[in-house]
Amino acid sequence: MEQEVKAIMSQILEIPIGEINTATSMDSVDTWDSLRHMEIISAIEQQFQIEFEAEEAMDMTNLGVIMRILAAKKG
């Protein structure tokens, strides 16, 4: 699951997948703006057939939080 999320982030943020870790965040990646943030959220929703609440999507500002929320959604 984490590799799939990293692949999504790598493609949307245009950074090598090897540079993505749990600390990768909106603050640490120049290309991670609000538009690309919503693209990441949307792509994860499509990939895993889930839907995030608006508050969850706003909290998902680094890979660690994304994985925690995704794991909770997937059960």
Interval 54-74 mean pLDDT: 95
CATH number where 44 lies:
1.10.1200.10
CA 7/CA 63 separation, integer angstroms: 12
Residues 6+ apart with CB under 8 A from 21: 63
pLDDT tens for residues 11-60? 999 999 999 999 999 999 999 999 999 999 999 999 999 999 999 999 99
- Domain of residue 66 covers 2-74
Residue type, 54: A
pLDDT of residue 16: 97
| Confidence check: pLDDT of 75 > 80 | no
Per-residue pLDDT band for 74 (boundaries 50, 70, 90) equals: confident
Per-residue pLDDT band for 69 (boundaries 50, 70, 90) equals: very high
Looking at the 3D structure of the chain, how many domains does it have? 1
CA 59/CA 75 separation, integer angstroms: 19
Nearest CA-CA partner of 62 in 5, 16, 18: 5
